[in-house]
């Protein structure tokens, strides 16, 4: 397979987790008014009557945002905000002051204490909703950027370590090969050449993973959505894997609607099918079967690739799409190498078109990987 065709593509229904909002005011009337203004299915509304209670509840509940009065009995809003900033668990929770103060020095004091914004009482409902919504979206955006950065860092760390290990292996084999050539040891030369071929193929696969991941995670990557016939995409992937299919004498079994079409990115679809079929072949025994099937309804098409190979333990199935768990290197039934990152790349690609992907597997009983494509 050529270096990912997606590399040339750099051009310029998910569930929403509800936000937790902590409302802090010693005036119950104000609390009830704020709750009424903000009430909707995307917010979980919590409350506290003073700074001390707010601080303890913030540590326990870790709200997404805090709306807090300044003038309260006991610990006031300024000191509460300072304490929140001093605690590593709560230091990044945005605080908006609800205050009767509108003097510049009081506003500055609030920002110095760590607040991100303020709303003066009596407040306008539309303004309060808008400010809360804005800061919640900013907070979630920052968290998503941070998570993506950590995810990318982990991915590149895994791939670069695997590339380094492969290069060390190639270098070692090459050194032995030079010695055997000098000694005219033909049998050993052939043996080492085959090892070198396998190592170089594994290294090439790692580079494919690295390039494709970098492309699909780039902000300049765009999906090109056109009508795609699923049978044509399957044929493309199968043709790219003819050598592997022949070498392991794999029989492909089709249960495919040849007329099934949907709007999708053809190169992305080909990449997903290629990786899933490559995995199925890799973990199948010689002479095994690989099943390709499609199902569809008005909303989604589901494409599945199933093998009768080595399968996976449940803990592997649960973590196969994650990078924050131990990363086991994978070897096929014919000692084929691999980074084990192919399914993670498939997940990223499938999610580009708002699809989902999952695995059903048992140890020694094969694996079935399915993914969806929206029909509209």
The model carries a pTM of: 0.54
List pLDDT tens digits, range 315-337: 888 878 876 665 555 677 877 76
b/e map 278-297, b = 16+ CB within 10 Å: bbbbbbbbeebbbbbbbebe
CATH of 19-144, one of 1.10.3720.10, 3.20.20.70, 3.30.360.10, 3.40.50.2300: 3.40.50.2300
Pairwise CA distance, residues 345 & 234, whole Å: 18
Tell me what pLDDT residue 12 has.
39
Minimum mean pLDDT among 37-41, 102-106, 211-215, 349-353: which range? 211-215
In terms of average pLDDT, the best of 93-107, 169-183, 202-216, 288-302 is: 288-302
- Inform me whether the pLDDT recorded for 214 exceeds 70: no
For the segment 57-67, the average pLDDT, to the nearest whole number, is 94
For the segment 67-73, the average pLDDT, to the nearest whole number, is 91
Q: How far, in Å, are 44, 132, 151 from residue 347 at the CA level? A: 30, 33, 13
Tell me what pLDDT residue 11 has.
43
Q: Which of 251, 365, 353, 248 is nearest to 303 (CA)?
A: 353
Tell me what pLDDT residue 10 has.
45
For the segment 256-267, the average pLDDT, to the nearest whole number, is 93
User: Six-digit token pair at 296?
Assistant: 């569809």
The conformation of residue 74, written as its DSSP 8-state character, comes to S
- Indicate the domain borders of the chain: 19-144, 223-376
CATH topology of domain 223-376: Heat Shock Protein 90 (3.30.565)
């Amino acid at each position: 397979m050529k270096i990912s065709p997606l590399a040339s593509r750099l051009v310029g229904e998910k569930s929403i987790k509800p936000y937790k909002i902590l409302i802090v005011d010693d005036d119950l009337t104000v609390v009830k008014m704020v709750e009424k203004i903000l009430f909707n299915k995307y917010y979980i509304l919590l409350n506290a009557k003073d700074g001390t209670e707010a601080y303890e509840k913030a540590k326990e509940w870790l709200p997404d945002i805090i709306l807090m009065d300044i003038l309260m009995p006991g610990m006031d809003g300024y000191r509460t905000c300072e304490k929140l900033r001093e605690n590593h668990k709560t230091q990044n929770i945005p605080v908006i002051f609800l205050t009767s103060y509108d003097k510049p020095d009081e506003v500055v004091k609030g920002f110095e204490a760590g607040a991100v914004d303020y709303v003066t009482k009596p407040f306008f409902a539309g303004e309060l909703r808008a400010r809360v919504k804005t800061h919640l979206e900013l907070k979630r955006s920052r968290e998503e950027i941070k998570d993506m950065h950590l995810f990318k860092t982990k991915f590149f760390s895994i791939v670069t370590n695997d590339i380094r290990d492969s290069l060390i292996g190639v270098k070692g084999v090459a050194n032995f090969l030079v010695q055997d050539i000098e000694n005219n040891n033909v049998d050993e030369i052939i043996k080492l050449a085959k090892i070198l071929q396998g190592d170089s193929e594994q290294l090439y696969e790692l580079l494919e993973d690295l390039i494709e991941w970098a492309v699909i995670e780039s902000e300049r990557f765009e999906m090109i959505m056109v009508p795609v016939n699923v049978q044509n995409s399957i044929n493309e992937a199968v043709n790219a894997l003819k050598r592997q299919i022949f070498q392991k004498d794999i029989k492909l079994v089709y249960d495919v609607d040849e007329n099934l079409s949907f709007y999708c990115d053809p190169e992305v679809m080909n990449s997903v099918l290629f990786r899933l079929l490559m995995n199925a072949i890799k973990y199948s025994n010689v002479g095994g079967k690989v099943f390709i099937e499609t199902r569809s309804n008005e909303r989604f098409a589901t494409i599945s690739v199933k093998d009768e190979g080595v399968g996976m333990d449940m803990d592997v199935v649960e973590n196969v799409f994650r990078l924050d768990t131990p990363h086991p290197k994978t070897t096929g039934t014919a000692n084929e190498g691999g980074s084990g990152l192919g399914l993670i790349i498939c997940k990223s690609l499938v999610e580009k078109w708002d699809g989902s992907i999952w695995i059903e597997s048992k140890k020694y009983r094969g694996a079935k990987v399915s993914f969806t494509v929206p029909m509209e």
